[in-house]
């Protein structure tokens, strides 16, 4: 027996979450969903699938207005990456395409104003469980997630690319920091320290975006308040928590990374533990040539190995510095599902656009030319 429910008041759905017994993407946690609804977009909802009166799947969404149409998507928009629905392991293997179809029918009935369901940057599997949402039509996202497996010793990770060069640069940069003044790496704790660390990140990122001519995706008081509360939330426990790591040199923050820590559900063997970098930035100041961002990543990976984590994920996006550390390329997938006749055009456009971008980015001759042209256009504006 199955039952589907659309919770327009997400507080009715929040008690269904169990971080110890569920599998979900970072942006599909109860904490993320609640804080996003409270601080950024009040129009959030949760679709729930029940099997034999027990929750089997939860799908937290937000509704936005895009090109005069209402679109449902993962809460968080472009900040929600490596997405995966909330699965309850007891029922995960029993969820079929018909169940997902019933869930979408529930959404259409509850919110007839929504024209399009846009589920982007989804993982195919997570912590040993397949993503039932990919029974819907889908296509590969242009950007993969890059992940480093973590063996017992740091040297094995370094050996993946230019180990001696990495060690030499790290020593050189450490000496440079010593010459400038005392340096330390710390994890922000409490409201004040987390707010300060995020503000430092925002200032660094804003400067970098402005220099590159890129629109700042972190702009907005509501969004900043969301992230500050996310990292300072008392609900953060020792296993699934959001942490801001800071490199400070001569009393000044020089690099900040925001990480989400995760772990497989209680009772699952083998146990899997890791972290995902949600964002990062470095100061473009007198120490920029000492690569504070690279330095912080080096220390963070070493620290993750000391903490016995299994994976260090750099999240979504293709960058050379990520490739130098990583040995796993995780494909991500998009689904654009029309819920009304008007939504068909938007779904088709999104599918075509995503396919075009994917073909460009995977063309080893064309993509470098596009990046070079884009860089020239930015400098000219």
Count of other CB atoms within 10 angstroms of residue 322: 20
Q: How far is the first Cα of the chain from the last one, in angstroms, to the nearest whole number?
A: 59
Residues 75-94 pLDDT 10s? 999 999 999 999 999 999 99
Please provide the DSSP assignment of 49-115 as one string. EEETTEEEEEEEEEEEEETTEEEEEETTGGG--SB--EE-HHHHTT--HHHHHHHHHHHHHH-TTEE
Alpha carbon of 263 to those of 229, 268, 311: distances in Å? Answer: 22, 10, 10
Residues 206-237 pLDDT 10s? 988 887 777 888 888 999 999 999 998 877 65
How high is the pLDDT of residue 162?
Answer: 86
Confidence of residue 320 (pLDDT cuts 50, 70, 90): confident
Confidence of residue 318 (pLDDT cuts 50, 70, 90): confident
How high is the pLDDT of residue 370?
Answer: 61
Alpha-carbon Rg for the chain in angstroms = 21
β-pair partners for 333:
122, 140
Domain made up of 2-144+332-380: CATH architecture: 3-Layer(aba) Sandwich (3.40)
Gap between the Cα atoms of 339 and 298, Å rounded = 46
Report the pLDDT averaged over residues 130-144: 94
In sequence order, which residues have a C-beta less than 8 Å from that of residue 33 and are 6 or more positions away?
10, 14, 44, 46, 60, 75
Nearest to 10 by CA among 47, 57, 64, 53: 47
Cβ 187 vs Cβ 243: under 8 Å: yes
The residues spanned by each domain of the chain are: 2-144+332-380, 151-309
Nearest to 60 by CA among 24, 28, 107, 91: 28
Say if 2-144+332-380 and 151-309 have the same CATH topology: yes
How high is the pLDDT of residue 365?
Answer: 64
Query: Residue 90, CB half-sphere, CA atoms under 13 Å: how many?
Result: 11
Cβ 155 vs Cβ 119: under 8 Å: no
Q: In this structure, what token pair is assigned to residue 317?
A: 């996006």
DSSP structural state of residue 234: T
Report the pLDDT averaged over residues 62-69: 91
Confidence of residue 191 (pLDDT cuts 50, 70, 90): confident
What average pLDDT does the chain have? 90
How high is the pLDDT of residue 173?
Answer: 96
In sequence order, which residues have a C-beta less than 8 Å from that of residue 237 and are 6 or more positions away?
19
Report the pLDDT averaged over residues 308-337: 93
* Higher per-residue confidence, 62 vs 372: 62
Residues 235-245 pLDDT 10s? 765 555 899 99
How high is the pLDDT of residue 364?
Answer: 66
CATH code of domain 151-309: 3.40.630.30
């Amino acid at each position: 027996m199955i039952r589907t429910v659309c919770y327009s008041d997400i507080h009715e759905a929040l008690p269904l979450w169990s971080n110890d017994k569920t599998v979900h993407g970072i942006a599909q946690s109860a904490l993320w969903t609640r804080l996003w609804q409270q601080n950024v977009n009040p129009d959030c909802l949760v679709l729930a699938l029940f099997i034999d009166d027990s929750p089997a799947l939860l799908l937290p969404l937000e509704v936005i207005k895009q090109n005069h149409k209402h679109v449902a998507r993962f809460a968080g928009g472009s900040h929600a990456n490596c997405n995966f629905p909330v699965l309850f392991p007891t029922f995960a293997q029993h969820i079929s395409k018909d169940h997902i179809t019933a869930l979408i029918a529930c959404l259409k009935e509850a919110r007839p104003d929504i024209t399009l369901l846009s589920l982007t940057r989804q993982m195919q599997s997570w912590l040993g469980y397949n993503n039932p949402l990919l029974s819907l039509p889908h296509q590969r996202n242009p950007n993969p997630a890059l992940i480093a497996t973590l063996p017992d010793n740091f040297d094995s990770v370094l050996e993946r690319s230019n180990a001696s060069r990495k060690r030499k640069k790290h020593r050189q940069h450490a000496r440079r920091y010593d010459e400038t003044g005392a340096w330390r790496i710390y994890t922000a704790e409490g409201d004040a320290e987390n707010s300060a660390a995020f503000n430092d990140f925002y200032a660094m990122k804003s400067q970098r975006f402005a220099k590159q001519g890129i629109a700042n995706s972190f702009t907005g008081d509501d969004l900043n308040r969301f992230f500050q509360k996310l990292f300072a939330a008392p609900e953060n426990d020792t296993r699934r928590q959001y942490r801001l790591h800071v490199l400070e040199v001569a009393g000044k923050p020089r690099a900040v990374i925001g990480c989400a820590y995760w772990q497989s559900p209680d009772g699952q063997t083998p146990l899997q533990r890791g972290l995902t970098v949600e964002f990062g930035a470095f100061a473009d100041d007198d120490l920029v040539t000492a690569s504070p961002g690279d330095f912080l990543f080096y220390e963070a990976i070493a620290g993750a190995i000391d903490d016995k984590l299994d994976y260090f994920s750099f999240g979504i996006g293709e960058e050379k510095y990520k490739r130098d550390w990583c040995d796993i390329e995780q494909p991500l997938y998009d689904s654009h599902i029309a819920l009304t006749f008007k939504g068909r055009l938007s779904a088709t456009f999104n599918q075509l656009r995503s396919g075009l971008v994917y073909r460009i980015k995977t063309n080893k001759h064309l993509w470098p030319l596009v990046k070079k042209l884009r860089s020239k256009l930015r400098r000219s504006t």
